[in-house]
């Protein structure tokens, strides 16, 4: 039985992306997984970065994960606004 990953939200600041400094292969947008990193199981090993900073030093895979995480977060926010607009259009 697959378990769902739980996250701690991280309040908005300049560093929106949180990278696991133990494995340098996991990045999350405005959240960190609990209780540990899903790849290396490191605990409390996250540091915040901007996307520009990750592009400076990150691997192509890490950069792609960061962009995907940001797009996923935007997609979650976007549909919440769409149903209200479509209801108004139906009236």
Tell me, yes or no, whether 41 lies in a domain. Answer: yes
Contact 51, 34 (CB under 8 A): no
- Cα–Cα distance between 85 and 52 in angstroms, integer? 34
Tell me, yes or no, whether 1 lies in a domain. Answer: no
Tell me, yes or no, whether 32 lies in a domain. Answer: yes
Higher pLDDT, 61 or 41: 61
Tell me, yes or no, whether 46 lies in a domain. Answer: yes
Mean pLDDT of 30-52: 89
Tens digit of each residue's pLDDT (9 = 90 or more) over 55-91: 999 999 999 999 999 998 888 876 655 555 555 555 5
> Which structural domain, as residue segments, surrounds residue 58?
6-90
Other Cβ atoms less than 10 A from the Cβ of 70: the count is 16
Mean pLDDT of 14-31: 90
Higher pLDDT, 4 or 41: 41
The domain tally of the chain equals 1
Given a cut of 70, is residue 33 above it in pLDDT? yes
The pLDDT of residue 34 is 85
């Amino acid at each position: 039985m697959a378990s769902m990953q739980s996250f701690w939200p991280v309040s908005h600041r300049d560093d929106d992306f949180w990278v696991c400094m133990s494995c340098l292969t996991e990045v999350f947008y405005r959240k960190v997984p609990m209780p540990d990193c899903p790849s290396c199981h490191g605990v409390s090993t996250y540091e915040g970065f901007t996307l520009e900073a990750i592009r400076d030093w990150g691997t192509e895979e890490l950069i792609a994960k960061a962009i995907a995480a940001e797009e996923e977060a935007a997609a979650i926010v976007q549909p919440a606004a769409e149903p209200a607009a479509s209801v108004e259009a139906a009236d």
